[in-house]
Amino acid sequence: MIKIQNVNKYFYKGESREVHALRDINLEIKKGEFSLFNGPSGCGKTTLLNAIGALDSVDSGEIYLGETEITGLNEDARTSLRLNEMGFVFQAYNLVPVLNVEENIGFIMKLRGFSDSEIKARVQEVASFLEIDTKLKSLPNTLSGGQQQRVAVARAVAAKPKIILADEPTANLDSKNSLKLMDMMRSLNEKEDISIVFASHDELVIDNVRRVIKLKDGALVED
């Protein structure tokens, strides 16, 4: 489903402090996968995830989502691709503070134009699956970190994206909450058949995924 071909990415290209963040990456991620980009800090996990998520451009090579070449799209097309095909979970603080849990979960569906009744039903479904259905009317800042991160996952999953990209989703959580989050995300992956790709150096994440893709200094070293 995602095909990455000869991708290179530089920061500060041409300057003395140039960083070769991604080196000749070739990779395929299939539908329904539950995988992880792993490696030491600075090896390029986030950079690769952002490139797949159409959040960032690359300097050479191509990334395909199905038939679409992401790397050739303009900003508007990438925005709409992110909205319609992808789900994101970031490290922390990625809920809208002035909206309650229910509205946060339904946010992307709303942007995509689902009807209110569809949104309500779907929000109820994912919220009860992620065990946050008792908090639907609460504001994000009244929730624990683990609950907030599950709301973020619920928001990403609610609109049924093709793929969810999660960058260090457990970094701000304790091990109990991390484990719970990973369990739930794996069940979602199985139940809804959504591909999920993590970028993380958390042992707990490594133990729970089915595929580990190791990076070092921007290059793929182990799959």
Partner 1 sequence: MFKLILKLAWNNAFLRLSRTLLVIIMIAVSMSMLLAIQGLFDGMAYNMSDKMLRSDSGEISIYHKDYRLNKIIANHVTDAKTIKAKLEQDSEVQAVVTRFSVDGLSATARKSSFANIIGINLEDEEKFGQFSDFLKKGTLDFKKRGALIGGELAKTLKVKVGSKLVFSTQDKNGDINSIALRIRGILRTANVKLDTSAIFIDAVRLDKFLGIDKNIATQIAIRTQSSTLQDKLKKDYPNLSVKNFLEINPMMQMMEDSMVIFNSMIFVIVMFVVFIGILGVMYVSILDRIREFGIMRGIGMKYSHIRLQIILEALFVGLMGYLVGALFGFSGLYYLENVGLDLSAYADAMESFGYETILYAEIKLSYFTNTFYAIFTASLLSVFLPLRKIKKMHPIDVIKADT
Ligand X SMILES: Nc1ncnc2c1ncn2[C@@H]1O[C@H](COP(=O)(O)OP(=O)(O)OP(=O)(O)O)[C@@H](O)[C@H]1O
Interacting residues with partner 1 (CB under 8 A): 46, 50, 55-56, 76, 79-84, 86-88, 90-94, 96-99, 103, 107-108, 110-111, 113, 155-156, 171
Of the pair 15, 76, the CB lying nearest partner 1 is at 76
> Considering the rule CB under 6 A, would residue 16 count as an interface residue with ligand X?
no
Q: Is 47 in the site for ligand X (CB under 6 A)?
A: yes
Helix (H, G, I), strand (E, B) or coil at 55: coil
Stretch 150-209 residues interacting with ligand X (CB under 6 A): 199, 201
Considering the complex, what minimum distance in angstroms separates the CB of residue 57 from Mg ion? 17
82-118: burial string, b at 16+ Cβ within 10 Å, e else: beebbbbbebeebbeeeebbbbbbbbbbbeeebeeee
120 scored as a contact of ligand X (CB under 6 A): no
The number of residues that bind ligand X (CB under 6 A) is 13
In angstroms, give the least distance from the CB of 54 to partner 1.
9
Q: Which of 46, 148, 149, 208 binds ligand X (CB under 6 A)?
A: 46
Interatomic CA distance for residues 139 and 202, integer angstroms: 28
170's tokens: 């457990």
- Residue selected from 1, 19, 92, 206 as contacting ligand X according to rule CB under 6 A: 19
Nearest to 26 by CA among 54, 73, 60, 66: 60
Token pair, residue 140, equals: 């994000």
Q: Residue 91's closest CA among 19, 143, 164, 169?
A: 169
Minimum gap (Å) between residue 175 Cβ and partner 1: 19
With CB under 6 A as the contact rule, the residue among 2, 29, 44, 165 that binds ligand X is: 44
Burial of 173 (C-beta count, 10 Å sphere; 0-12/13-18/19+): buried
Question: Which residue type does 100 have?
Answer: N
| Binding stretches for Mg ion (CB under 5 A) | 46
